[in-house]
Chains A and B, each alone.
Chain A
Amino acid sequence: MNGDDLRFQRRPDRAALVIALILAGLGGVLLFDAARLADVGGGYSGVGPASAPRVVGIGLVLLAIWTAVEAVLGKFPARPRQDPVPLFWIVGGLAFQLVTLKIAGFSIATGVMFAFTARAFGKRNLAFSIPVGIAASFLVWLVFAQLLMLSLPAGPLEHLFFPGVK
């Protein structure tokens, strides 16, 4: 939180207005889904499956209004300045792991994610960190999948050492 943010305090906070919109949208989604279930009764309780989403939906809409008011009044706390590049590395690493897990197996997919995360925190040499990540992941895979029988997907690397493992 640095000093020059103070200058913006009286202005409507655009990001906070976006939050208000998101909250209102979320509330709307709940109310929409509740409307679909409105004809399902709650049996003898009188409270059906639509009631809870409806209450939460209305709550979210009210909170959206409150958020919008605070946003206009500029009451939101100042935000620390963000560096987007590391964020992309981490999100990219996790996405890579997600997509390749089944094909490449646990060690390779997780190893790359490991290296990308390290990259986000300043370890730029991927030629070093990817092998390190894969080796570490393989070790983890050995301990948890082979010793403790946790089911972790295997890929080419795992098959190289343990032919026949699924």
Chain B
Amino acid sequence: MRNFALGALMLGAMALPAAADYTIMAPANPGGGWDQTARTMQEVMQAEGISPTVQVVNVPGAGGTIGLAQFASQNAGNPDALIVGGYVMVGAILTNASPVTLADVTPIARLTGEYEAIVVPASSPIQTIEDLVAALKADPGAVSWGGGSAGGTDHIAVGLIAKAAGVDPTKINYIAFSGGGEALAAILGAQVTAGVSSLGEFQAQVEAGTLRLLAVSSAERIPGVEAPTLKEAGLDVVLQNWRMVAAAPGLSDEQKAKVSADIEKLVKSKGWQDQLAQKGWADTYLSGPEFDAQLQADIAATAAVLKDIGLVK
């Protein structure tokens, strides 16, 4: 397609392109994680010949719930429609009391995931996660946490940490920033005490020594990352910010199987694996009944945390 676009423009000619196949909705603005996931899928599906032409549609808003609602209502039974979503959407559905939930679409598979990391600026007197927890216990208000939007994965992580440390989660001083970039700048500038975001956002800074990595939210230590898990530090918190792909509601079993097969082909392709390595995304592919069960567990756990933080009544 791109060669076509170029060729046509250079020659000034217009030919008839092939029909579009999959349409992937990214329920967010261009540039975010879901948009990048959708556009990477687009590129790989086209390059690997899974689908000749893939279109990406951005429907931004409200943690993906606007896109989700539009997707569910307009695509019932359409086997060519896909939507990208993730853990943030689970939280947003709850905080916004969205009438459309993930039960109204056909979740296909979890694709990628990132763990959360707790950092402090290099200049901070706080050396370990234990120091941070001690400070939090002494005066929760004095520990300001910089992270993404209210009710998002980062906020949930702080709530879980407070709860695990025996601190009232409603007392945390969480400062929501728009987007990872602004939060990272505030952390680097030591405007806040500590920062929470996905590990990838911090990794380059940690390597450069401008941020100190205190802990990660994985179940086990991540190879190549020199930081304890929260569990090791005695905080029973495991959290993954995952991204998934779902199909339209009302698909027949054959249709669902075909989409699942296409996604599996995508995930197993070399092109996809190369992209993951390049972007630093972990392959957390999970599909079928295992994924459905995991999704239900995540939804239940998130609902509980959001209640504890006081974002959902």
Q: Do A and B bind each other?
A: yes
Contact surface of A with B, Cβ cutoff 8 Å: 43-44, 142, 146-149, 151, 161-166
B80 touches A166 (CB 8 A): yes
Q: B23 — which chain A residues lie within 8 A by C-beta?
A: 151, 166
Known: A147-B14, A162-B19. 11 other contacts (CB 8 A): A44-B173, A146-B17, A147-B4, A147-B17, A149-B5, A151-B55, A151-B56, A164-B19, A165-B20, A166-B55, A166-B80
Q: How many A-B residue pairs have CB under 8 A?
A: 34
Kindly identify which residue among B1, B14, B55, B141 contacts A44, using a CB–CB cutoff of 8 Å: B141
- A and B contact pairs by CB, cutoff 8 A, 11 listed: A43-B174, A142-B14, A146-B17, A147-B9, A149-B56, A151-B23, A164-B19, A164-B20, A165-B19, A165-B20, A166-B20
- Docked CA distance A99–B309 (Å): 42
- Docked CA distance A164–B4 (Å): 19
B173 touches A151 (CB 8 A): no
B173 touches A163 (CB 8 A): no
Q: Which of B9, B17, B80 has the most C-beta atoms of chain A within 10 angstroms of its own C-beta?
A: B17
Q: A44-B141, A142-B14, A166-B55 are in contact. Are A147 and B5 (CB under 8 A)?
A: yes
Q: Nearest B residue to A154 by beta-carbon distance?
A: B20
B57 at the interface (CB under 8 A from A): yes
Q: Mark B15-27, 1 if CB is under 8 A from A, else 0.
A: 0110110010000
B8 at the interface (CB under 8 A from A): yes
Number of residues of chain B lying within 8 A (CB) of chain A: 18
Q: Mark B161-205, 1 if CB is under 8 A from A, else 0.
A: 000000000000110000000000000000000000000000000
- Docked CA distance A151–B9 (Å): 19
Q: Nearest A residue to B80 by beta-carbon distance?
A: A166
Q: Nearest A residue to B58 by beta-carbon distance?
A: A151
Q: A146 — which chain B residues lie within 8 A by C-beta?
A: 17
- Docked CA distance A147–B7 (Å): 10
Q: A142 — which chain B residues lie within 8 A by C-beta?
A: 14
B59 to chain A, nearest CB (A): 10
Q: B20 — which chain A residues lie within 8 A by C-beta?
A: 164-166
A45 to chain B, nearest CB (A): 9
A105 to chain B, nearest CB (A): 14
- Docked CA distance A162–B15 (Å): 11
A90 to chain B, nearest CB (A): 27
- Docked CA distance A59–B291 (Å): 52
Q: B9 — which chain A residues lie within 8 A by C-beta?
A: 147
Q: Nearest B residue to A145 by beta-carbon distance?
A: B55
Q: A151-B56, A151-B57, A166-B55 are in contact. Are A43 and B16 (CB under 8 A)?
A: no
Q: A149-B55, A166-B23 are in contact. Are A43 and B173 (CB under 8 A)?
A: yes
Q: Nearest A residue to B81 by beta-carbon distance?
A: A166
Q: Which of B8, B20, B56, B174 has the most C-beta atoms of chain A within 10 angstroms of its own C-beta?
A: B20
Q: B19 — which chain A residues lie within 8 A by C-beta?
A: 162-165
Q: B8 — which chain A residues lie within 8 A by C-beta?
A: 147
Q: Nearest A residue to B173 by beta-carbon distance?
A: A44
Q: B14 — which chain A residues lie within 8 A by C-beta?
A: 142, 147
Q: B4 — which chain A residues lie within 8 A by C-beta?
A: 147
Q: Which of A146, A148, A164 has the most C-beta atoms of chain B within 10 angstroms of its own C-beta?
A: A146
Q: B174 — which chain A residues lie within 8 A by C-beta?
A: 43
- Docked CA distance A142–B13 (Å): 12
A44 to chain B, nearest CB (A): 5
B34 to chain A, nearest CB (A): 15
A51 to chain B, nearest CB (A): 16
Q: A163 — which chain B residues lie within 8 A by C-beta?
A: 19
- Docked CA distance A67–B19 (Å): 57
- Docked CA distance A53–B287 (Å): 45
Q: B5 — which chain A residues lie within 8 A by C-beta?
A: 147-149
- Docked CA distance A149–B18 (Å): 12
Q: B173 — which chain A residues lie within 8 A by C-beta?
A: 43-44
- Docked CA distance A161–B55 (Å): 18
Kindly identify which residue among A149, A162, A166 contacts B1, using a CB–CB cutoff of 8 Å: A149
Q: Nearest B residue to A163 by beta-carbon distance?
A: B19
